[in-house]
Each structure stands twice: as structure tokens, then as C-alpha cells.
Chain A
Amino acid sequence: DIQMTQSPSSLSAAVGDRVTITCRASQSIGYFLNWYQQTPGKAPKLLIHGTSHLQSGVPSRFSGSGSETDFTLSISNLQPEDFATYYCQHSYRIPTTFGQGTRLEIK
């Protein structure tokens, strides 16, 4: 199975900041990389698919980039509702696997 490794595991930031989360795949996955946001007690929500394509309704302060094995999720001008846990996922093939998550906390 393809292993997905996120860093950092957690980070603190303030409202208005810009943050970047990194996801690394154990082998090349092209652009088959997706990002999800999850708040406590809720299901994950698809933010970005295909590395950089914003899901409908997702604010433009979210952006994604990368290719092959290295990917990033950036959030600019952090808003209070952005403090959550973020997961990357590859969709290169089955089994699809997820990163371990990055918890974004308010500083």
C-alpha cells in the first residue's frame, strides 16, 4: 500500500495567518491527491481534489499544489472556522490511504 505522511502533526496559528501543511507519498501518485477538513464529531469534508482543484463551495483561501510524491495544502488569512484537522488522501489506486492528520490549533 502507498503510505501517506503528513507534517507537521500539529501546528498553532492565529486568525489571519497563512499556514502550509505538507503531505508526502511513499511512491509517485501523479496528481491523485486530495485534502479533507474534519472538525470534532463531524465527518471529513472534501476541500481539494486532484492536487489543486477546489471543491465546490470551498473558500479560495484554500489552495493545493505539488505532484508525484510531495504536496502542500495552504490556507491564507486563517478564519476561526478553519481550526480543524486536515487529512491528505491519495486516489492513485485502491486501496486509497490517508495521512495521519494535521491538527491546526488557535494560537
Chain B
Amino acid sequence: EVDLVESGGGQVQPGRSLKISCVASGFMFDDYTMHWVRQTPGKGLEWVSGISWNSNSIAYADSVRGRFTISRDNAKNSLYLQMDSLRLEDTAVYFCAKDFRGGYYDLLTHSAAPFDSWGQGTPVTVSS
């Protein structure tokens, strides 16, 4: 059974940094593209970033590009999101999500895929 467990969320001041993690089990982690999706009561669900299995293809939402960095460590079955220069509007629950499609595809030129497994989410609050 697929399991995704996020951690590392918390409260942080505007302009500071935070790194969240997701540990995966129950599937061949190094065969799948992975994503971060966030959710707020006001803006709903927002895709944040995605990374191919080999880290060769990475994409970001315009709202976080240049501030957030996605990475993965396949040896540790782990996905990460380094969030720098945090803003009030980054406050959300952050979910890691597994891509439905296995294998490599270029996130920027190929169609995307649904997310067939999600973690329980980790809350990030940006507040002074």
C-alpha cells in the first residue's frame, strides 16, 4: 500500500525559510514523478512544484518560482521542498502527491498526470 508522510511544517516569520519533507513507501519511489500541492481555505488547491524520478525535469508554479526548490533523494525514498523568502500567502497545508504515470517525462513539454496518492499534509503558517 502506498504511503506518503509529510513532516517539517510549522510557524515561521515572513522572509524566513523552512524545509518540508515527504517519506514514501509501498511503491517504487524512484520510478515516479512527485509533486507538492498546497491547500488554503481561500485559494483552494494549488499545484506548487513537480520533479521527475531522476530530477532531470523540474517545474514550479509562477507564485513560488525563484523562492522554492524541490528535490528528492531516491536512496531515502524522500521528497523535499525548500521554501525561502516565505510570504504570508504561502500559509497553507502542503501535500506531497504521487504522479499517476510512471517513468520519465518532461514536465514542461508533456501533458501532466493525475495524482493517485497523497500524503496527509503538513501545515505551514507564515506569520509575524
Minimal beta-carbon separation of B52 from chain A (angstroms): 11
Which of B9-17, B24-32, B80-88, B109-117 lies at the interface? Answer: B109-117
Minimal beta-carbon separation of B12 from chain A (angstroms): 23
Pick from B45, B47, B107, B112: contact of A92, CB under 8 Å: B112
Pick from B45, B59, B112: contact of A91, CB under 8 Å: B112
| Contacts A34-B114, A91-B113 given; does A49 touch B100 at CB 8 Å | yes
Residue in B59, B61, B111, B120 with the greatest tally of chain A CB atoms within 10 Å: B111
- Interface size on B, as a range, is 20 to 34
Cβ-based interface call for A55 (8 A)? yes
Cβ-based interface call for A20 (8 A)? no
B-chain residues with CB within 8 Å of residue A55 when the two chains form the complex: 116
A74-107 CB contact bits vs B (8 Å, 1 = yes)?
0000000000000101111111111111000000
Minimal beta-carbon separation of B66 from chain A (angstroms): 15
A-chain residues with CB within 8 Å of residue B107 when the two chains form the complex: 94
Cα of A29 to Cα of B8 in the assembled complex, Å: 36
Cα of A92 to Cα of B47 in the assembled complex, Å: 13
- Interface size on A, as a range, is 20 to 34
B-chain residues with CB within 8 Å of residue A87 when the two chains form the complex: 44-45
> 8 Å CB contacts to A: which residues of B99-128?
100, 107-108, 111-121
B-chain residues with CB within 8 Å of residue A8 when the two chains form the complex: none
| Contacts A98-B44, A98-B46 given; does A43 touch B95 at CB 8 Å | yes
Residue in B47, B50, B61, B107 with the greatest tally of chain A CB atoms within 10 Å: B47
Q: Which residues of B contact A (CB under 8 A)?
A: 44-47, 50, 59, 61-62, 95, 100, 107-108, 111-121
Closest 6 CB pairs of A and B: A43-B118, A98-B45, A91-B112, A34-B114, A49-B114, A96-B112
